[in-house]
Homo-oligomer: A and B are copies of this chain.
Amino acid sequence: MKPVNIGILGATGVVGQEMMKILAERDFPVASLRPIASAHSAGKKLSFQGEEVTIVEATDSAFDGLDIVLGAAENDIAERFAPAIVKAGATFVDNSSAFRLDPKVPLVVPEINPEDVKWNSGIISNPNCTTIITMIAVNALAKESPITSIIASSYQAASGAGKAGLDELKAEAMAYADGTSVEPKAFAYQLAFNVIPQIGGEQYMGYTSEEMKMQNEGRKILHLPEMNVSCTCVRVPVFRSHSISVVLRTEKKISVERARELIANAPGAKLVDDLKNKQYPMPLDTSDQDIVFVGRIREDLTDPNGLALWCCGDQIRKGAATNTVQIAELLLK
């Protein structure tokens, strides 16, 4: 593959930093790497594959000469610079939620719908982290028989709120040990020794924006526009792996044995399902990896076409940075 010129918009955040690490790890054919961030960080040096790279300020001219821009910034920044990126002739692979539901923008999980990158017109969106992890877990079941509905409850890590979230959980843990406490800023309430049943603002019928992503993005990724999802998103005091408790219904019944077989062979997924020997996915075992771990597969006792399962995956990697780099890899093919 011919090396390409890569930009990272929002290079100084947790996801941007992880993208640089993953580009190097995966031997992505990088001709040049340009970290792009706010004026505050511009001029600072970062290390990439043993060489120094200088952070460039995000301006309309910052993208000239780039082939692919990986987006690790918030929605407002992504919206602000998308036109300039496209105008510069680069493809914008964006991790924000700004364009995910735009019908002109593919929303891609490379293990599920790689073909969708082909119809992009300059922007490709990377899905929500909890949605990616859940969809990798259920995709092989959806291919066996279409999923009609999902009921999900999440156990989401602090890393979903970026470096501020990680730092705050750590500070709260240290304060607990000292017998003190810290004022919550990244989260609305103390997260250590607590769980917080709100991620995102209210969006639809009492569901939060984060909760609606699993339905709206999941439909687009799985090509199942009728799939209904009731999701409850909950922040838990875990550093970087999200877990999701899922009950799903399929048009035709899939047995537990067949579900295990399908998931064991599903790309990007690993079956860890042996309750007798206390083997199932857990955040501490699944962090810093790109695989989605799936276990606790059993029949839904409330519906003959239902299955229950439990999945975990690293929020920063497969939930964000790795998936974005994988989309960029598809563009090179």
Contacts and interface: CB of A to CB of B under 8 A. Distances in A.
B284 A190 contact: yes
Contact of A151 (B195, B197, B247): B247
Interface in A194-216: 194-198, 202, 205-208, 215
Nearest to A248: B302
A189 interface: yes
Copies of this subunit:
2
A71 interface: no
A245 B173 CA distance: 25
Contact of A206 (B178, B188, B198, B296): B296
A155 B238 CA distance: 13
Interface residues of A, number: 61
A290 to B, nearest CB: 20
A243 to B, nearest CB: 6
A92 interface: no
A306 B230 contact: yes
A263 to B, nearest CB: 14
A177 to B, nearest CB: 3
A189 to B, nearest CB: 6
Nearest to A280: B197
A21 interface: no
A91 interface: no
A188 B207 CA distance: 34
A228 B302 CA distance: 5
Interface string A93-129: 0000000000000000000000000000000000000
Contacts of A151: 151, 247, 300, 302
Contact of A194 (B150, B284, B300): B284
A193 B238 contact: yes
Interface in A284-320: 284, 295-303, 306, 308, 310
A234 interface: yes
Contacts of A281: 197
Nearest to A297: B206
A279 to B, nearest CB: 10
Interface in A244-291: 245, 247, 249, 256, 275-276, 278, 280-284
Nearest to A283: B194
Interface of A: 149-151, 153, 155, 169, 173-174, 176-178, 188-190, 192-198, 202, 205-208, 215, 228-230, 232, 234, 236-239, 243, 245, 247, 249, 256, 275-276, 278, 280-284, 295-303, 306, 308, 310
Given A193-B239, A232-B296, A249-B302, 11 more contacts: A155-B155, A155-B234, A197-B280, A202-B275, A215-B301, A229-B302, A230-B300, A232-B245, A232-B310, A237-B238, A245-B245
16 contacts: A149-B303, A155-B155, A173-B176, A173-B177, A173-B192, A193-B237, A193-B238, A193-B239, A195-B243, A196-B282, A198-B280, A205-B298, A205-B301, A206-B275, A230-B301, A245-B245
